[in-house]
Structure 1
Amino acid sequence: MKTIQRAVTRTLVGTSLVLGAAACSDEFLQVTNPNVIDAATVNPTTAGATLAASAQQNFAVAYGWLAMYSGWFTGEANVSDTFPTRNEFGQRTISDLNGSLNGDVWGPISLAVASAKTVLDLDLSTPTTNISLARAATFRGFSLLMLASDFCTGTISSGPELTTTQLLDSAAFWFTRGIDVGRANATADGIALSNAALVGRARAKLQKGDNAGASTDAAAVPSGFEYNLRYTDDANSRTRLSNRLYQFSFDRGSISVAPWYRQNDPRVPSRAPGSGTAAPQDAVPGGFYQQAKFTGYASSIRLASKLEAEYIVAEASSNATTQLALINARRTANGLAAYAGAMDAASVKAELFNQRALEFYLEGKRLADFRRSPASVTSITPSGQPYFKPGYGNTGTQTCYPLPRAERDNNPNTAGK
C-alpha cells in the first residue's frame, strides 16, 4: 500500500520542544496531530472514494477561479475590482510576481492536478472498473487541460517546465483512462464521467490541432449529454463550496458584463445599472452590468456537453456550410434571425466563435478559443488599445498566463530559469 498524505499535514515539533523542556513527563503535553494519516490504518477502497470526491471538488474550486480570471483576460467581463493584480488580467499585462496569479489561479488548479494523482497512485481493487479511478482520471484530465489552455507553460508535481502540447498530451492520456474505466464501470455515474472525459479529450485534440481526432471523439458524445459541476450554498464555506461567479458578482461586485456581450441574448442575461444590482468594487465606465447567468451560490457550472461537442465538430470540419448550419440552428433556438453577414470562410468561422462566446459565457472556454484562433475572437480588445479604465496603460500583448515566479523559485526543475 502506498503512503497517503494530505496537503494540510503539519507537525507540532516546535511546540513539543519548547514545552517539553519544562515538563516533559506531563501527559497533558502529549499531543496527537489529527491531520497526520498513518497509511497502515487506511482502507484504500473506502479512502479512494473520499479522496476522489475531494479531487473533483478541488477541480470545481479551481474552475470557478479560472472562469472568472479568464473572463477578465478575454474581455467577457470588465474588471470592476479594485485589486491591481486582477486588473493586470483584464489589461493582459500579468507579472509573474502577481499574487492573484499564484494564489487564486495557479495554486488551486495545481492542487486539483496533484490530488487526482493521489487517487490514481492508490492500489485500488478492480482498477479497470473502479469508479474512483474513473473520477480521478477524468478530473486530472480536465485539470491538465485547463493548465494547457490558460498558462503558456506548466509544471506537474515539481517536474520540469512543460509546453502546451505536452500538457495537452498528458490531459488526453488521462481522459482516455477516464473514458475506458467509466465505460467499463457501466453505472450511470461511470457513463457520465466517461462522456465528460470524451468531450474533454475532443477539446484537447482540437486545441492541439488534431481536427480529425477531435471530430471523431466529439461525434461519439451522446445526444443531450451535459455534465455540470455542482456547488452548494454553505455560509460557512462559500470559498470552498459555492459558485465563484455568483460570489464575485453579488458579494463582491467584481464582474461586469463587457459591452460586446450586452446583446439581449438569453444566453448572457444581465442586470443593467439601476435595476437592483449590487455595488461594484470599482467604478466601471458605462456602468456596472451584473451577470445574471449564475443566480445563486448553488448554481452549477457546465463543464462538458453535447452542445460543445457539436461546436467542436463544426470547427474541426473547416467547412463553412457545416458551420453555417450550426450557427443558424443556434441562432434560431435563441430567438435570433439567421446569420446575414459575409459568407467567406474567415467570416463564417468568426461568427461560429461569436456563437460559442455566447453559449459558453463565463464557463472558462474563451481563453482556449483566443489561443487557438485569435483572428476568430473579435470581441477582445486588441493589443495596444486603451484599457477600458482610465489611468491605466494600453492593453498588453499576452495570450496566456506566465508561470508564477513562486513556482520557478520553489521548483528545483525550474529554479533560476
Structure 2
Amino acid sequence: MTNTSKLIALVGLASLAPFASCNDPLKVSIPDIVQPGQLGDSASLATVKAGALGDFSIAYTGDHPDGSGGTEGVIMYGGLLADEWINSETFPTRIEVDARTIQVTNADVDLWFRRMHQSRNSAEKAAAQFAQFAPTDPGHAEMLAIAGLTYIFFAETWCSGVPVSHLDASGNINYGAPQTTRQVLDTAIARFDAALATTTDGTMTAFATVEKARAVLDTGGFAVAGALAATVPTSFAYVREHSENTDRQNNGVYNGNFPDQRYAVADLEGGNGFRFRSVSDRRTTWRVFLDQTGDTLTGFDGSTTLWTQQRYGSRKTSITVATGVEARLIQAEAALQAGDTLAGGQFLAQLNDPRTTRRTRPRHRSAYYPLSPPRISRPRAASGSCYSLSGRGGCGSRRTGWETSVVWSAYRPRVATEYPSTRCSRPDHTSRSILQPMVPT
C-alpha cells in the first residue's frame, strides 16, 4: 500500500471514530439545564422552590411589558382596573382593562390569566414535594402561602366562576369545576391553615397569618381577621427580590411604568378615583421627567404625561408582597366595622401604629404614616402591591359598604376581570353567563 493510500485510510478511520463511540450522534448532554425527570427527589427541593417563586414573580410583578412582548402581573392589571394606574398606551388590550371593556379575545389578559394559574400550579406542586421529603422545612410553608395568595388574587381580581384545574403525574389536565368567589377564598384560607400547621418559622408564620387575615376579611369576617392580624408585628415584611440579569428577573412594575412607558400614575381617575398625585404623600411619590428637547416626557401614546411612580426605582428593586402594616390596616378596618372609632380606640391606634414603627430595611418601602381611614389609607399604604381592588371592594370583596358608583369610575358597571378565551375553551365550558356572574357569590 502506498503512503498516500495509508494516509487516506487513516483519515477515514479517524472520521468514523466519533460515531463509533456514540450510539446517537444527535443526543447532546446539556449539564446546565435541569430536566423534568431530575426534579422528583429531595435534592431538587431548592430548585423546585426557586422555579415556583420565579413563576409567582411573573404572575405578581410581571417582567417587561414593552408592547406585544412581556407580561403584566396582577399589580399592573389589578391596579389598572382599580384606577391606581392609567394607560399611556396605544395597544387596545391594555386600554380595554383601563376602560373595563375587556373582550374575551384579549390576548394580554389571557396571558396574565395563564401566568396566574402557572404560579398556582407550581406552588402547589412544590408544596406537595416538600410534604413528601421535608414537611417541616420553612420552604413547605412558603409554597403553601404562595399558593394561597394566588387564590386571593383570583378572588379579588376575577369574576366569580374561577376554573381551577390540576396536572396529574403524567402532565394530563384534570379539569375542575368553576369555583365561586367564596369557594376560592375558602381554598386560600385552607392553604394558609396548612402552612401554619407545618412551620414554627417566624417569617413564614407571619406571612401565612396576615394573608389568611386578608382572605377572611374578604369574606366579611372582620372580627376574626382583626384577631389574626393582631399577631403579626408591624416590622414584618415578605418581599420578592429582583435583578437586572434577565427580563424574567426584572421588576415589572418599574419597567411597565418608566422604561416601557405603558402605564402612568393615576389621579382622580373617572372623577371619583383616588388622589394619588394631587395630594402630596410620601407613600405615593411621583415625578415627571423632561425629554431631550425639554418637553414633558409622555407615555408610549405620545400624549399622556408619563407620571412616574418613585416607590420602585429600578429593575432590581424588591417588591413587597406582605407586610405588618397590612396587618395594622386589617385591624383598623375590623375596628371601624365594630364602631370602635373614638379617641383612644383601636381604629385610630392601628392607623397610627406604623407611624411610630421604623423600618429596619428602607428598601422595603411599604406603608408609612397612615393618616386616614382604611379606604383612604390603604391605597397609599399598599400602592404597587396588589391591594387596590380589595380596598375598593372589587368583585371578590364588596365589604366596604360604599355604593359601586361612589368608589368606581363610571366607565362600565363591571368591576372585575372578564375571563379570556383560554377559560372559555375548556371542554366543560357551557355558558359564560352562567359560569362567570358579575355579582360575587
TM-score (norm 2): 0.73
Tell me, in whole angstroms, the C-alpha distance in 2 between the residues paired with 1:374 and 1:29: 66
Tell me, in whole angstroms, the C-alpha distance in 2 between the residues paired with 1:302 and 1:123: 25
Unmatched tracts of structure 1, length 5 or more: 1-24, 184-189, 340-350, 384-394
Q: How is 1:248-259 mapped onto 2 (pairs within 5 angstroms)? A: 248-259=256-267
Tell me, in whole angstroms, the C-alpha distance in 2 between the residues paired with 1:379 and 1:74: 13
Name the structure 1 match of 2:187: 170
**Residue number among 265, 268, 290 corresponding to 2:281 in the alignment:** 265
Question: Is contact 1:280–1:288 with CA below 8 Å preserved after alignment?
Answer: yes
Residue 274 of structure 1: CA displacement?
Answer: 3.2
**Percentage of pairs with the same residue:** 25
Name the structure 2 match of 1:98: 106
Name the structure 1 match of 2:347: 323
Residue 382 of structure 1: CA displacement?
Answer: 2.3
**Residue number among 429, 432, 435 corresponding to 1:414 in the alignment:** 429
Q: How is 1:128-277 mapped onto 2 (pairs within 5 angstroms)? A: 128-152=135-159, 153-157=161-165, 158-183=175-200, 190-234=201-245, 237-238=246-247, 240-259=248-267, 260-262=275-277, 263-274=279-290
**Residue number among 319, 322, 325 corresponding to 1:307 in the alignment:** 325
Q: For 1:355-385, what per-residue CA distance to the aligned partner results, in whole angstroms no more than 9, with x for missing partners?
A: 11111112110111222327288995522xx
**Residue number among 399, 405, 408 corresponding to 2:415 in the alignment:** 399
Q: For 1:237-277, what per-residue CA distance to the aligned partner results, in whole angstroms no more than 9, with x for missing partners?
A: 21x11111111122211221112201221101111253897
**Residue number among 83, 106, 120 corresponding to 1:75 in the alignment:** 83
Matched, 1:355 2:366: no
Question: Is contact 1:113–1:143 with CA below 8 Å preserved after alignment?
Answer: yes
- Aligned pairs, number: 358
* Residues 31 and 223 of structure 1: CA distance in aligned 2, closer, same or farther (over 3 Å): closer
Tell me, in whole angstroms, the C-alpha distance in 2 between the residues paired with 1:338 and 1:43: 50
Structure possessing the higher radius of gyration over alpha carbons: 2
Question: Is contact 1:45–1:124 with CA below 8 Å preserved after alignment?
Answer: no
3-state secondary structure, aligned to 2:239:
strand
Could you say which structure has the greater relative contact order, defined with CA pairs below 8 angstroms and 6 or more residues apart?
2
Name the structure 2 match of 1:60: 57
Tell me, in whole angstroms, the C-alpha distance in 1 between the residues paired with 2:25 and 2:209: 55
In angstroms, what is the RMSD of aligned CA positions? 3.0
Tell me, in whole angstroms, the C-alpha distance in 1 between the residues paired with 2:36 and 2:310: 47
* Residues 274 and 300 of structure 1: CA distance in aligned 2, closer, same or farther (over 3 Å): same
Q: For 1:79-137, what per-residue CA distance to the aligned partner results, in whole angstroms no more than 9, with x for missing partners?
A: 1121111011111111222111111x211111000011212333755654123321211
* Residues 284 and 352 of structure 1: CA distance in aligned 2, closer, same or farther (over 3 Å): farther
Matched, 1:122 2:119: no
Name the structure 1 match of 2:70: none
**Residue number among 84, 87, 90 corresponding to 2:95 in the alignment:** 87
* Residues 201 and 404 of structure 1: CA distance in aligned 2, closer, same or farther (over 3 Å): same
Q: Which amino acid aligns with 2:417?
A: Y
Tell me, in whole angstroms, the C-alpha distance in 1 between the residues paired with 2:308 and 2:370: 26
Q: For 1:166-220, what per-residue CA distance to the aligned partner results, in whole angstroms no more than 9, with x for missing partners?
A: 110111111112222231xxxxxx3212211111100000001111221121011
Tell me, in whole angstroms, the C-alpha distance in 2 between the residues paired with 1:246 and 1:143: 21
Name the structure 2 match of 1:112: 119
Residue 223 of structure 1: CA displacement?
Answer: 3.7
